[in-house]
Amino acid sequence: MLTRLINTFTLIRSKMRANLTAIVEKITFGIIVLTAALIPLLFTSFTTEFFEIPKIAFLAISTMILALLWSFSWVLKGKVIITRTPLDIPLLLLALTVLISTATSDTKYVSIFGNFPRVHGSAIAWITYILLYFVAVSNIKSLIQARIIVFTLIASSVLNSVVALLSYSGAYLPLGFAKNMIFNPAGAAFSAVALCLMLLPIIFVHILRPSKILGIPLSLIASIIFGLVIVLLGNLTSMLIALVIVTIIILLTDKKYLKESLPFLVAPILVALLIFGLGFIPAKNNPLQAKRGAYIKDFQELQLSPTDSWKVAISSFRDRPAFGSGPSTFLFNFTQYKPATINMTPLWNLRFDSGYNEFFQILTTLGVLGFLAFVFAVLMLFKVGAKVIKSEDSFVFGLGLSIFVIIALLAVHVSTPVTMVASILITAALFAIKKSEGKVEEFTLGIKTAKIGSSDSQLNNLVTGDILPIILFIPIVIMVLVGSWQAYTIILADVNHRLGLNAISQNEKGLQAYEYLAKARNTNPYIDLYRTDMAQTNFLIANAIATAKAPNEASPGGSLTDQDKQNIQQFLSQSINESRAAVTISPRSAQNWEILASIYRQITGVAESALQFSLDGYGRAIALDPYNPLLRLNVGAANVKSE
């Protein structure tokens, strides 16, 4: 009787676990699909920066939820199941390097949170990307799921590209910040172009070998849209990559497929070349030529040259060889190590916060160990692409070409949140197909509990099992809860900061701006941008009070009361304190020292030793940005003012 009850209970428990496991896996896959759909399209006006911050915030939250669901599935299955891929060791080494580099950085808070409002490249972003890869590669389990992920990416990229083309033509979304010709939900023009280049091989392959989901009509429309984005928003390098993609596809495609579908493959190329050519025809009634001139003049992205980027990287490597200066610190290395010759170019007054490409960026910020780990990952990715590019399966062949495009883009530009997520999902989809073919392994880990000593084997089976999933699940739950609370405070602080900036842009709302900025600072006191904005707002309020009640014709003696004087002194004191807090948080920021020096400079003659403090601040800024002529001019102006 006992044996029958135990068997019945075991059967019921197994069915319940199987059903719950299936539900968890469906939810996990659904979140991955949602991530593929939203990351290229997500933006909001409620944060300091409209594109990067909301994307990474959503990605961090969704990745934590995915990790929680993944670990819960281990508990349900009674074992830890992880998919092994060639990228595992390189990415784990890269994650370890990111953590050590952050811990040894002179600007730890910048390395953790990012050089606001840029969050991409921070420790939070890197760990999120790497965790997303491991979750995605272990939870995309079949060819059908891989296709769904990739086709979702294509759909969201087409929608993003349509918005980009409409913005370029002057048909804007009804949003104030969207009224410019390079607006697209992905963010930068490079993000839109890179998405098109990554997915173009898959589109072209489906033109040659159409599927039920992505036939020739849809493939042709998508390829034309992608081609237009590449020629209108891209540069010569991106166009060259597109031509190389087409050439490789033509050379490696079976002639029987090529003969039947070649006109459809050539059509989007001819349309793109036609639009590109029309942009150079000088004619009074040629809107394409006028649009291209306006784009190049006012909107084309400025990129640090390879030579200057290399000089910054190698100088940083010389001083911090092993782990670099820390994630998100390229700006500080640029100001300190930029060559003097850059002052002979139109870029002399710009401060670049990213290098020419991802390799220089990582060498500068994560040192040689981070660089080697990243190169290791790229080489493994190249090896995988070289193998699958020979596949007879058209979808796998397209993914293989996309892998090479990803590597090429890393070599010609720094990554963005959109390109990183797209690269991760494309790679995970490829490994999912290899896993379904038995060419990528899953391995399990476990720790068995001891038997209870009963002679009844059924009872032993009931109470014994694998406890490792539970051991891992508990700390993961704790980390997700802590991470979710931190994400909430970071987002709340940034929303308040944006509200403060909006209030500043509106007349007579200085005190309201002050309140919002104070909330942002109090909620997340580790962001130097919030501190410097708070410092300048305090100074502006103090100056506004002094100006409004200064001597004039109607009141030659002025109308300042003792309370006004006390308020002015309090606001000036807070301004200095906030600015000092900013340089404490980010001591390598020349801009922070410049702001502190500027505040002291403007109160010279009012506060004791203000001139000396101002000159000291400018001296620190010059030490961190030695070839910036404006800083030296400010020193001269401060000395003239004191005389």
- Band (pLDDT 50/70/90 cuts) for residue 445 is low
Check whether residue 391 and residue 535 sit in a common domain. no
Mean pLDDT, residues 614-640: 87
State the pLDDT at residue 9.
47
Q: Which residue has the higher pLDDT, 252 or 494?
A: 494
CB-based contacts of 259, cutoff 8 Å, min separation 6:
none
Return the minimum-mean-pLDDT range out of 143-147, 203-207, 549-553.
549-553
Question: Percent of the chain having pLDDT more than 90?
Answer: 54
Please state, in angstroms and rounded to a whole number, the distance separating the CA atoms of residues 12 and 352. 62
> What pLDDT is stored for residue 591 in this prediction?
94
Per-residue confidence (pLDDT) for residue 3, from 0 to 100: 61
Q: Is residue 340 part of a domain?
A: yes
Q: Which of 415, 440, 465 is the last residue of a domain?
A: 440
How many distinct helices (H) and strands (E) make up the chain? Answer: 24, 2
Q: What is the mean pLDDT of the chain?
A: 86
d(CA 87, CA 453): 44
Residue 398 lies in a domain: yes
Please tell me whether residues 112 and 226 are part of one structural domain. Answer: yes
User: Does any domain span residue 479?
Assistant: no
- Predicted pLDDT at 141: 86
The yes-or-no verdict on residue 454 having pLDDT over 50 is: no
Provide the pLDDT for residue 450. Answer: 43
Residues 155, 259 within the same domain? yes
- Are 354 and 222 in the same domain? yes
Please list, in sequence order, all residues whose beta carbon lies within 8 angstroms of the beta carbon of residue 343, skipping any fewer than 6 positions away.
Answer: 627, 629
Phi and psi, residue 415, nearest 5°: -75, 170
Mean pLDDT of 148-174: 93
The whole domain housing 134 covers 85-440
User: What is the mean predicted confidence (pLDDT) over 122-128?
Assistant: 96
CATH number at residue 628: 1.25.40.10
User: At what angle are helices 189-208 and 417-436 packed, to 10 degrees?
Assistant: 30
Give the CA dihedral 214, 216, 218, 220, nearest 10 degrees.
130
Domain end call among 440, 473, 491: 440
Q: For residue 238, give the nearest of 188, 287, 281 by alpha carbon.
A: 188
pLDDT at 265 over 70: yes
Residue range 44-54, pLDDT digits in tens: 999 999 999 99
In the predicted structure, residue 371 carries a pLDDT above the cut 80 = yes
Let me know if residue 207 belongs to a domain.
yes
User: 54 in a domain, yes or no?
Assistant: no
Say if residue 590's pLDDT is above 90.
yes
Residue 45 makes CB contacts below 8 A (sequence gap 6+) with 175, 176, 177, 498
User: Is the pLDDT at 535 greater than 80, yes or no?
Assistant: yes
Exposure b/e, 71-109, CB count within 10 A at least 16 = b: bbbbbbbeebebbebebbebbebbbebbbbbbebbebbb
Query: In the structure, what pLDDT confidence band is assigned to residue 440 with cuts at 50, 70 and 90?
Result: low
Residues 236 and 337 in one domain: yes
Residue 460 forms part of a structural domain: no
pTM for this model (two decimals): 0.91
Residue 468 lies in a domain: no
Question: Which of 532, 639, 643 shows the shortest CA–CA distance to 580?
Answer: 532
State the pLDDT at residue 146: 92
533/425 same-domain check: no
- Residue-wise pLDDT for 214-226, tens only, equals 788 888 999 999 9
Considering just the CA atoms, what is the radius of gyration of the chain in Å?
A: 29
Query: Binning pLDDT at 50, 70 and 90, where does residue 457 land?
Result: very low
pLDDT beyond 60 at 619: yes
Last residue in a domain, options 440, 458, 486: 440
Return the exposure string of 224-237: e unless at least 16 CB atoms fall within 10 Å of the residue's CB, then b: bbbbbbbbbbbbee
State whether 410 and 536 are in the same domain: no
Whether residues 531 and 435 share a domain: the answer is: no
Identity of the amino acid at 199? L
Residues 104, 236 within the same domain: yes
Dihedral sign, CA of 359, 395, 151, 32?
Answer: negative
For residue 134, what are the contacts with CB-CB under 8 A and spacing of at least 6?
A: 82, 88, 91
Can you tell me whether residue 444 is helix, strand or coil? strand
Which of 11-15, 24-28, 259-263, 537-541 is predicted with the least confidence, judged by mean pLDDT? 11-15
Give the number of domains in the chain: 2
Residue 352 has pLDDT above 60, yes or no: yes
Q: What is the pLDDT of residue 208?
A: 82
Span 85-96, mean pLDDT? 94
Whether 280 and 378 share a structural domain: yes
Residue 142 pLDDT class (50, 70, 90 cuts): confident
> Quick one: pLDDT at residue 509?
63
554 — pLDDT class (breaks 50, 70, 90) = low
- Residues 436 and 536 occupy one common structural domain: no
| Reported confidence tier of residue 444, pLDDT bands at 50, 70, 90 | low
Both tokens of 337, joined, read 């190590």
Per-residue pLDDT averaged across 19-29, rounded?
89
Is there a cis peptide before residue 117, judged by omega within 30 degrees of 0?
A: yes
pLDDT digits (tens, 9 = 90+) for 330-351: 999 999 999 989 988 888 888 9
Q: Token digits for 320? A: 């911090």
Same domain, residue pair 393 and 288: yes
Higher pLDDT, 625 or 461: 625
Give the SS3 label for residue 200. Answer: helix
Instruction: Identify which has the larger pLDDT, 127 or 642.
Output: 127
